[in-house]
Structures are given as structure tokens and as C-alpha cells.
Structure 1
Amino acid sequence: MTDALGATDESAEVSGTDEEVEPEPTPERKPWSRRRKAVVGLVTLLTLSLFVIGGCTAWLLYSLNSNIKRIDGVFDRSSIPAAGPRPAADPAAGRALNILLVGMDAAAAGADPEALEGRRSDTMMLLHLPAGRASISAISLPRDSWVSIPGRGEAKLNAAFSWGGPALLVATVENLTGVRIDHYAAVDFGGFKGMVDALGGVTVDADKGEAKLDGNEALKFVRQRYGLERGDLDRVARQQQLLGAIAEKVTAEGVLASPLRTENLLQSLTRSLTVDDDLNFKALLDLATDLKGISESDLAFRTAPVAGFGERAGGQSVVLLDDKRCKELFAAVRADIPWPEPAPGELWRP
């Protein structure tokens, strides 16, 4: 049975495995504005709660900070000997900051290692904040990228989280890119329900035209897995679209002018965050202060260069990265310099 969103009626539970064979994705260009909104949404989820700190009571400050889950050992490679040493920070990059931002369906359990077992990350972005904090560069890392996972051999990138949690995922991304990750942040898609309800619903482009979603409908929208033309790639696109819709409504309707709506939104938002233990409250405050002047025009978005698609063990459809172009792109990130121009046909995006 199909609902008003064009989604097959299924259980909201999402498997932590990738046993099913996903349809071969078709390269397709997407509007830059939608991708920028997705990044705005992710950054908003990470920092919005801190933009209004000046007007919060001491109790609310404490409550918001205590909502955020923190996990230790994210950058500890002692349990991953095959990973080798971490990349060194490039002295030329100065105060540049690199954040691995993960969207998933189980980040609420992020501080519990046992609860992470078997879970997979749905969306991964490398956020680069240059030394001057005048812009944000975001590189999407396709979850189905076929990469080398320390101690495990080659597999899909999102398997790293399933096998070793944030520590193995960070080690895999650092080895893949050569970029030293300064902070890790995970956003729980399940937490969107409370945020969407606090906003009075959001509007997305569904299969049958625009649809206004409440919290339950939004959660179903992003959790839909089957019946999508491009499989998990369309699922990721839905997640990004919801992030953009949340960010757009927050900025367009002056939500922060209403104390009650602000508190409800911020409580839901901060309960959805899991960060590394180095990203303490002071560090989050500093980050929020640095990013206050950022707008859509200050964002640059790109997907890690893709060479094509292939099939691997068990009939898995995988994304093959373009090694040469990726090296050029990540070298620019490490040195905190402008990205190289994209090659013809490189603007494919999941």
C-alpha cells in the first residue's frame, strides 16, 4: 500500500545490515540550493541551540548541555592497531577546523558502545571551517563508497561504524582523506520528530507534490527504505531535504522569537546530538560564536569525486571513488586553501 508521500507502508524499524541488493543508482545532478540547504540544516542542528544562549536562563543552559551525549575514545587508535598513526595537522592550516558530521537513525544511543553494535551511519559529511571562519566547506562522503577499513579489508564506508563505532569510522575517514578530524558529531534522525512538532510541521517535496509533515510523518519520510527508485541514495536525499526544511522554517518564521517554541525546539535538538568528549560546552559556545555570521552564500558543497559504480561481494552495489581527484580535493582541505575546480561530469551527487 502506498501513502500520500508515495512511500510503501512499512515498519519504521530500520535494519542495521545491508543484505538486500540495492538498485543501481543513476548519476543525476541536483540543484545547488537544495544541497546548501542540507548543509545549513546540519550546521543548524549542531549550533542553533547555542545561538540564543544570551537569552537563556542558567537552568536552561544546564539542561541543554546535559541533553547532549558525549562519547570518549573517538580518536583513540590503540584498539585499532591496523589503522596506523593519525594524520598530522598541517601547520599551514592554522586554526582551521575539520568536523566529521554523521546523520543516523541511532545516534541517541551514541554514548552506549553496546547499543552501537551493528548500527550503520546513513549520511557522512566532512565539514571544513577555514582559519578565518568566514565560510564552511562540506564534502559529502557517500555511505556506499568502497574503501579500506583498518583491520577489516575493503567494504562500504558505513560498515566501519557498524564494526567499530565512531572510533573506527573516524580512523577510516582519516586514512581515506589524510585529513585530521578535530571533532565528531552525530545527529539522530529519530530526534527529528520532536523538532518538527515544535516547529508546527514542515513542508517537503514528496512524490505527489508538496506535503506538510508533522513529526510522525517526517520520521516515516526519512526512514523509508524500500520502494525508492534509487534505493538508499534516495533515502539520503530525503534526510537532507528534511534537514533543509527544518533550517528554512527556523530562519524564515522567526521561531526563536517565541520563548516556548524556542525551548521545545532546543530541547529536542540537543537530545539528538552525540559529540566527542573534547567538544565540551565551551568549545560548542566558541563554535557557535564563530559561525553566527555564516549564511547560505558562504557555503560550498561537494561530493567526494566519484569514478563510477560497481558490484562487490554478495551482489552489493557500491560507489567507486576517483582516487586522483579525491587526493587533490583533500590536499586542499588539509592546507586550508580553495578547492580545485571540479572535473567535467564530477557534479554527481547522492
Structure 2
Amino acid sequence: MDKNLENLNNEIPKRILRKRRNSSRQKIMILFGVLFFLSGFCGFVFGLFTPTKNISDLLTPNFMAQPAKGELNLVLFGIDDVDETHRTDTILWLNINTNDKTITMMSVPRDTLVQIPGHGYDKINAAYAYGNTELALRTLTNFIGVKPDKYVILGYKGFMKIIDAIGGVDINVDKRMYYVDNWAHFTIDLYPGMQHLNGLQSLEYVRFRHDALGDFGRMRRQQEFLLAVKNQLFSSPAMITKIPDILKVVLDNVQTDMSFNDALSWALAVKDIVNQPNFQIKRIFLDEGMVPKYAYGVDYLWPTQKVVSIIKSVFPNANPDVPLTFPFPEDKATYNSVNTVLQKATQNQTTNEAQNKTTTKNGTKTNVNNAKSTVNENQKIPSPNNNTITLPQR
């Protein structure tokens, strides 16, 4: 076992700052760090880096962060702690490179078929449930062929609290989203249009996958949401007044092995990168190289050789461990049927996105409660059966 992975949870630094009177310069520095990490790019990194929960301990005139140099690979795990399954429903890999001034955001589908050490072939989102942070990181490292430098773990409950702390997010909901999960006691009920979402509504938005595109669509919405959070935070001068409340919520709701010093240094590095003219974050979706497969009543996303090519386009020296041969007897009839639906849904999604961009230019923000009165209840999407499946012994 990699010794570095064994020590991932033991790298919590000791108190790094003493109590001093806060200066405006340090407040601005902290604000940027908070806003950047709250944007989801380096994700909510202040969780367990220090034993103190006193904000004044973090704001010290003697602390002078310098922009980081080089390359950072950071992984954000979104954990389902609402229904207590503790699977990683979101796996987002962020690569920051100060040498070529780029930021790349790569989504790994939760249903990706991988080999989990000690547990055989399974979906990648099961690794955390089997062995917590260490096994999730080890599995992801083997699959991508590159070891993450740092990690951040955020549960759904913490996600809702953080979004509420920053005052919610403006987002253009692209379609009617309705789904009732009786087993998890969770309902998704959103209407189309530009609107301001609170923490619970935001969770509904990023969790929704009950349409023809399934997890493919959800991953794209999650990245869109993170970009919307970033835009919201950086466009609001009043956000500085929320620093103490935001920091406290973040401190209470995240886990990370990233130190406070590193967090601010990389925040400053990102500031330099994003200030370039016409800068855009590169967005990568591994599902573009995956094929739906079905076996034993379970649906998987099987990575093909194209996934290897996509990974190597980001990390040329990577050595991905991809199961290029599907290890189970598959239900080909189900695969052919669903694959046809996905192809049609992808075409429709492209058309809808183009139409939404045109509408948003001339559109106005709609309150989610008012929007509900303008949509006929008959437009609700029928709730599919709960698709939680108990995996067979193998």
C-alpha cells in the first residue's frame, strides 16, 4: 500500500496562526480564498486543517500568502450522507497548472466500472462506502493513472448549509425536474427558468438524473452549477460581510488534507490564471468514452479505449487502469435499447442547450415559487421506480 495514501488522514497541521487584530488586507485575502474554494474548484477546503474554530485565529496580519507555482491535482468527493449510503455521487477532478496558465475540470461518472482493490469489479462510487477516503483515493488513482495531490470531501448536508450561507445561487433550470425517492425521503421538484435557488433547491438541481440522459446530464449540470456559484460569488461586493458566517459553516462541514496556507496560495495562483483575457476553464467528461452495460440487473458505464485517450489528453504520462474487457455476462437486449435512447436524448439535449442560451440572453429571473403557478401540474415527469439495487454476491 502506498505510504502517502496511508498518511492522507494524518496530515492535519497544528495551529498555524495566532490571534491578532484583523487588517482589511487579510480579510480580502481570506475572502478570495473562501470564494474560490466555495466555487467548487478547490472545494470547501478549510474543514479539518486546524483544531481551532475561531475565525480570528485565521486572520493574522503576519500571514502573507504567495501564489503557488507548478501543478495541483485536487479531487472533490460529493458524499451522499442524506440516505446514509455514503457513496460518492460526485467525483470531480481539478487540475490547476500555473506553468501553462490552465484550469481543467474533469468529471468521473459515479457508475464507472473499475476494479476496487480487495472488492473486485464494481462501480467507482462504491469505493468510499467500502473503505472510506483511503480506498476511494486508491481506486481513483489506479483508474486515472495519476495520484491526486489533495482531496476534499463534502456531504449533501454540508453542501446545503454552505449554499444557504452564501445566500443561494442564480441558475437557469433547463427543464422540469420532478422525482420522488420514497426510500431516501427526498423529493426533487423544480420548474424551468432562470431562478434563485436556496441550499435544498440547489441540492435537488445537482442530484437530478431521472431523465433520458441520466448521470450524463447530471454531471454537466453539476459543472454548470459550480460555474454559476463562482459567478455569483465574484459578482457580489456584499459577500465580504458574510466572511465570518461562511467560514464557520465551511469549517464545520468539510474534510480535507489541504492546509490553510496551501489553500490561500493556490487561490492566489488561480486568481492570476483566471485574470487572463478570454480565459475559460477546460471541461472534460469521461462519459464521452463510456458505453452503458447491464449485468446481474445492474447498470454500469464501461470505459473504452476512448477514455484512455481522454485521460491522456489531460495527463500525457498517465497509465490508466481501465477494464477494456467487460468482466460480466451482459444483457445485450437491454443495452441496445437504452443506448438508442441515450443517443436520441443527447441530440435533444444539444438542441435544448442552444435554445436555452438564446432564451437566457433576453430572459428575466423567475422566482421558483412563482414559476410553479405558471406550469400545469400535468407537465410533471412521472416518478420512476426506485433504482437502488442490492448488488449480487460475486
TM-score normalised to structure 2 length? 0.54
Aligned equivalents of 2:279, 2:156: Cα separation in 1: 26
TM-aligned CA distance change 1:300 to 1:313, over 3 Å: same
Deviation per residue, 1:61-105 (Å, 9 max, x gap) = 5379xxxxxxxxxxxxxxxxxxxxxxxxxxxxx942222222233
Query: In the alignment, is the contact (CA less than 8 A) between 2:37 and 2:45 conserved in 1?
Result: no
Measure how far apart 1:197 and its partner are.
Answer: 2.8
Deviation per residue, 1:174-204 (Å, 9 max, x gap) = 1112212211112333223333333333222
Count matched residues.
253
Decide which of 102, 106, 114 is 1:139's aligned counterpart. 106
Query: Which residues in structure 2 correspond to 1:205-220 (within 5 Å)?
Result: 205-206=172-173, 207=176, 208-220=192-204
Aligned equivalents of 1:280, 1:126: Cα separation in 2: 18
Aligned equivalents of 1:251, 1:48: Cα separation in 2: 19
Query: Which residues in structure 2 correspond to 1:10-25 (within 5 Å)?
Result: none
1:289 partnered with 2:268: yes
1:268 partnered with 2:249: yes
TM-aligned CA distance change 1:202 to 1:100, over 3 Å: closer
Cα RMSD (Å): 3.8
TM-score normalised to structure 1 length? 0.60
Query: Which residues in structure 2 correspond to 1:106-117 (within 5 Å)?
Result: 106=81
TM-aligned CA distance change 1:325 to 1:224, over 3 Å: closer
Measure how far apart 1:250 and its partner are.
Answer: 0.6
Measure how far apart 1:47 and its partner are.
Answer: 6.5
Measure how far apart 1:228 and its partner are.
Answer: 3.8
Q: Residue type matched to 2:302 in 1?
A: L
Which residue of structure 2 lines up, in the alignment, with residue 180 of structure 1? Answer: 147
Measure how far apart 1:234 and its partner are.
Answer: 4.1
Aligned equivalents of 2:227, 2:156: Cα separation in 1: 13
Aligned equivalents of 1:232, 1:188: Cα separation in 2: 18
Measure how far apart 1:158 and its partner are.
Answer: 0.8
Measure how far apart 1:335 and its partner are.
Answer: 4.5
Aligned equivalents of 2:263, 2:37: Cα separation in 1: 18
- The farther-off stretch of 201-210 and 166-175 is 201-210
Query: In the alignment, is the contact (CA less than 8 A) between 1:41 and 1:244 conserved in 2?
Result: yes
Q: Residue type matched to 2:112 in 1?
A: S
Identical aligned residues as a percent: 25
Decide which of 54, 66, 72 is 1:97's aligned counterpart. 72
Aligned equivalents of 1:229, 1:328: Cα separation in 2: 24
Aligned equivalents of 1:40, 1:302: Cα separation in 2: 20
Decide which of 98, 101, 117 is 1:150's aligned counterpart. 117
Deviation per residue, 1:24-66 (Å, 9 max, x gap) = xxxxxxxxxxxxxx999311644699xxxxxxxx9415379xx
Q: Alignment partner of 1:250: what SS? A: helix
Query: Which residues in structure 2 correspond to 1:1-350 (within 5 Å)?
Result: 41-43=39-41, 45-46=43-44, 59-62=54-57, 95-106=70-81, 118-130=85-97, 132=99, 134-206=101-173, 207=176, 208-224=192-208, 227-256=210-239, 258-259=240-241, 261-276=242-257, 279-295=258-274, 297-304=279-286, 306-323=288-305, 325-327=307-309, 329-330=311-312, 332-333=314-315, 335=317
Q: Alignment partner of 1:297: what SS? A: coil
Aligned equivalents of 1:266, 1:246: Cα separation in 2: 16
Measure how far apart 1:302 and its partner are.
Answer: 0.9
Aligned equivalents of 1:332, 1:241: Cα separation in 2: 20
Aligned equivalents of 2:72, 2:102: Cα separation in 1: 11
Aligned equivalents of 1:305, 1:235: Cα separation in 2: 11
Measure how far apart 1:124 and its partner are.
Answer: 1.1
Q: Residue type matched to 1:302 in 2?
A: I
Q: Alignment partner of 1:187: what SS? A: strand
Between 1 and 2, higher relative CO (CA 8 Å, sep ≥ 6) is seen in 1
Bigger CA radius of gyration: 2
Q: Residue type matched to 1:304 in 2?
A: L
Query: In the alignment, is the contact (CA less than 8 A) between 1:146 and 1:157 conserved in 2?
Result: yes
Aligned equivalents of 2:78, 2:144: Cα separation in 1: 19
TM-aligned CA distance change 1:47 to 1:299, over 3 Å: farther
TM-aligned CA distance change 1:129 to 1:311, over 3 Å: same
Aligned equivalents of 1:186, 1:126: Cα separation in 2: 12
Consecutive unaligned residues in structure 1, runs of 5 or more:
1-37, 50-57, 65-93, 108-114, 337-344
Q: Residue type matched to 1:253 in 2?
A: S
Consecutive unaligned residues in structure 2, runs of 5 or more:
1-35, 48-52, 60-68, 177-191, 319-342, 350-394
TM-aligned CA distance change 1:96 to 1:254, over 3 Å: same
Q: Residue type matched to 1:217 in 2?
A: Q
Measure how far apart 1:328 and its partner are.
Answer: 6.3
Measure how far apart 1:133 and its partner are.
Answer: 7.0
Measure how far apart 1:120 and its partner are.
Answer: 0.6
Measure how far apart 1:327 and its partner are.
Answer: 4.8
Aligned equivalents of 2:107, 2:238: Cα separation in 1: 29
Aligned equivalents of 2:74, 2:304: Cα separation in 1: 22
Aligned equivalents of 2:232, 2:133: Cα separation in 1: 31
Q: Alignment partner of 2:39: what SS? A: helix
TM-aligned CA distance change 1:312 to 1:120, over 3 Å: same
Query: In the alignment, is the contact (CA less than 8 A) between 1:310 and 1:319 conserved in 2?
Result: yes
